């Protein structure tokens, strides 16, 4: 297992992330250290990095270098963005960085944008999208087409920069807000025309977008504590902007969901996004929990063109790989789940989307065993619901977690996740959970005793287990699920057994 550290030295913050990974197979984030450095402070006015800003950044980098040495990282990559790139004394600052034993790679605006698009390509299911990465000094707006970078540009619209240029009052005055918005419209005039001509989803990354999303989630009492994949609607953003504009800095620092050290620059960033959505006529932002750092990581993790073939499939398998598993048992449960899904299709009528969700739940159904046997279905639900699973919408993730939760007992109910679900999802959950639970109990002894199934879709539905010897445990435990089957499919369930011949592998 290799361990790679990546330092993102931005205009506002510096962050070290550490990934443990096996190339092309598996990875997980294992550590993170964030420092507020405000390296770009004063850059907009004077064109130079301040001594205080450089000192804060160098202190953070010294901390990261010490951490990398103490933990014996295999590699440490340092990338720097707009502040280091634009400042007149940027070369002098980078010389001081080298004295720490670090080699910082200063990214061009296009390189920043490419890494952002790479992160989106590997963490969303979109084929085409606009991608906005709003940092402290600049904002990169890019076009992703066929999951590849198709052009982009850096704009002087960073939250720190705009705050220093326009928002002098606390709270900001109406005239300051209007002047900032005019500047944003002017800078983005050509980009807005392109976005209006090609209305694609807008993916927003960076600390500003994440904090805006968290503020909106707190106001909505959102049932998932996840940001990646959250859709921040234009209406919700308008509410958040109104909330911020009416408060002083000290009042903003106390807002639930907002990092206090972003309270002084969050207003400017929020106004950029509000103006962008209004002028482009977009309905909202798709929030990304990944960005530049993850783009740099994917470049190390994957061979060119550094893109996952199946974002969702990889993400689910990556979660599965984090926990000890009985792979043989899991494989048999998956097999029974897919077989029953096909055999019962005349009763449920579901298609590929439900089949995939059921297969993912069968794969993950026992991950809670890594915590302990008792309540492992509840532990599994927590692990699914608290993990970022790129490629899944929050609705799909809620259904997946609920299927894991109800794979062994209890009446399947949406519970607190109901606001995320669509019409018909209650019945969908009930039916898929019933299929998964029966699949689990067909493997109750974890010994692979049942080799095949026969189904007769009468009243009741007759399920015949094929096995070399009568599987008493599986018959008895599966029969207990008859009431749930009745509730899900409106028919009774009768169990039977017959010997399986050596020639038979599966009877459909």
CATH number 3.40.50.150 given to 110-293: no
pLDDT, position 505: 55
pLDDT, position 484: 98
For range 51-68, the mean pLDDT: 98
DSSP 204: E
CATH class of 2-106: alpha beta
User: Per-residue pLDDT tens for 133-163?
Assistant: 999 999 999 999 999 999 999 999 999 999 9
For range 418-433, the mean pLDDT: 98
pLDDT, position 89: 97
pLDDT, position 504: 66
Is pLDDT above 60 for 506? no
Report domain extents, the chain. Answer: 2-106, 110-293, 313-499
Instruction: Name the band, by pLDDT with cuts 50, 70 and 90, for residue 508.
Output: very low
Residues of the chain above pLDDT 90, percent: 96
Instruction: Name the band, by pLDDT with cuts 50, 70 and 90, for residue 286.
Output: very high
* C-alpha to C-alpha distance for 35 and 65, rounded to whole angstroms: 14
User: What value does the mean pLDDT of the chain take?
Assistant: 96
DSSP β-bridge partners for residue 5: 18, 76
Is pLDDT above 70 for 327? yes
Domain 313-499, CATH: 1.10.3210.10
Is pLDDT above 80 for 347? yes
A 10 A CB-CB count for 338 gives 16
A 10 A CB-CB count for 34 gives 15
Q: Which residues contact 175 (CB under 8 A, 6 or more apart)?
A: none
* C-alpha to C-alpha distance for 493 and 486, rounded to whole angstroms: 7
Is pLDDT above 80 for 228? yes
Instruction: Name the band, by pLDDT with cuts 50, 70 and 90, for residue 45.
Output: confident
Is pLDDT above 90 for 232? yes
**Angle value at C-alpha 32, between 139 and 108, nearest 5 degrees:** 30
Helix 376-386, helix 394-405: angle, nearest 10: 170
CA 359, chain centre distance (Å): 20
Instruction: Name the band, by pLDDT with cuts 50, 70 and 90, for residue 44.
Output: confident
CA 122, chain centre distance (Å): 10
pLDDT, position 408: 96
A 10 A CB-CB count for 325 gives 17
Is pLDDT above 70 for 218? yes
Q: What are the helix and strand counts (H, E) for the chain?
A: 22, 14
pLDDT, position 46: 85
- The reply to whether 110-293 shares the fold of 2-106 is yes
Counting other chains too, the contacts that 140-146 makes at CB distance below 8 Å and 24 or more residues apart are 140/109, 140/112, 140/113, 140/116, 141/113, 141/188, 141/191, 142/113, 142/114, 142/116, 142/117, 143/194, 143/198, 143/200, 144/117, 144/120, 144/203
Residue 348 parent element (H or E) = helix 345-348
Is pLDDT above 80 for 198? yes
- Residue 15 to residues 31, 60, 194, 271, 301: CA-CA distances in angstroms? 11, 9, 33, 25, 19
Is pLDDT above 50 for 442? yes
For range 176-180, the mean pLDDT: 98
């Amino acid at each position: 297992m290799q361990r790679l550290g990546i330092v993102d030295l931005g205009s506002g913050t510096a962050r070290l992330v550490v990934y443990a990974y096996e190339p092309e197979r598996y990875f997980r984030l294992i550590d993170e250290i964030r420092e507020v450095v405000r390296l770009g402070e004063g850059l907009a006015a004077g064109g130079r990095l301040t001594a205080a800003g450089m000192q804060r950044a160098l202190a953070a980098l010294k901390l990261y270098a010490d951490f990398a040495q103490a933990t014996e990282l295999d590699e440490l990559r340092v990338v720097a963005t707009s502040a280091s790139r634009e400042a007149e004394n940027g070369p002098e600052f980078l010389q001081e960085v080298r004295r720490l034993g670090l080699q910082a790679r200063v990214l061009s605006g296009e390189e920043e944008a490419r890494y952002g698009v790479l992160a989106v390509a590997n963490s969303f299911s979109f084929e085409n999208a606009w991608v906005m990465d709003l940092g402290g000094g600049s904002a990169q707006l890019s076009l992703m087409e066929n999951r590849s970078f198709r052009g982009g540009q850096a704009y002087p619209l960073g939250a720190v920069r705009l705050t220093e240029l326009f928002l002098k009052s606390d709270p900001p005055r109406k005239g300051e807000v209007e002047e900032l918005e005019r500047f944003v419209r002017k800078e983005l005039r050509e980009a807005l025309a392109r976005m209006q001509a090609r209305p694609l989803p807008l993916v927003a990354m960076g600390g500003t977008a994440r904090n805006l999303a968290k503020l909106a989630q707190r106001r909505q009492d959102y049932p998932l504590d996840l940001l990646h994949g959250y859709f921040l609607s234009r209406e919700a953003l308008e509410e958040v902007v109104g909330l911020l504009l009416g408060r002083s800095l000290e009042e903003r620092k106390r807002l639930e969901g907002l990092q206090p050290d972003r309270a002084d620059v969050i207003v400017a960033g929020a106004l950029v996004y509000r103006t962008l959505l209004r002028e482009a006529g977009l309905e909202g932002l798709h929030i990304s929990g990944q960005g530049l750092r993850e783009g740099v990581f994917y470049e190390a993790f994957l061979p060119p063109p550094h893109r996952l073939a199946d974002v969702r499939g990889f993400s689910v398998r990556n979660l599965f790989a984090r926990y000890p598993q009985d792979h043989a048992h899991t494989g048999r449960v998956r097999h029974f789940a897919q077989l029953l899904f096909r055999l019962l299709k005349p009763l449920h009528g579901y298609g590929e989307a439900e089949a995939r969700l059921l297969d993912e739940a069968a794969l993950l159904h026992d991950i809670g065993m890594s915590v302990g046997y008792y309540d492992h279905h509840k532990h599994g639900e927590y692990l699914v619901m608290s993990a970022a699973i790129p490629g899944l919408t929050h609705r799909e993730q809620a259904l997946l977690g609920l299927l894991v939760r109800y794979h062994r007992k209890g009446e399947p109910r949406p519970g607190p996740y109901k606001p995320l679900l669509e019409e018909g999802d209650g019945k969908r959950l009930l039916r898929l959970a019933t299929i998964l639970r029966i699949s689990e109990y067909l493997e109750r002894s974890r010994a692979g005793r049942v080799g095949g199934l026969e189904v007769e879709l009468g009243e009741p539905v007759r399920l015949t287990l094929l096995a070399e010897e009568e599987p008493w445990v599986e018959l008895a435990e599966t029969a207990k699920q008859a009431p749930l089957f009745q509730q899900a499919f409106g028919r009774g369930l009768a169990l039977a057994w017959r010997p399986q011949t050596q020639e038979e592998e599966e009877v459909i």
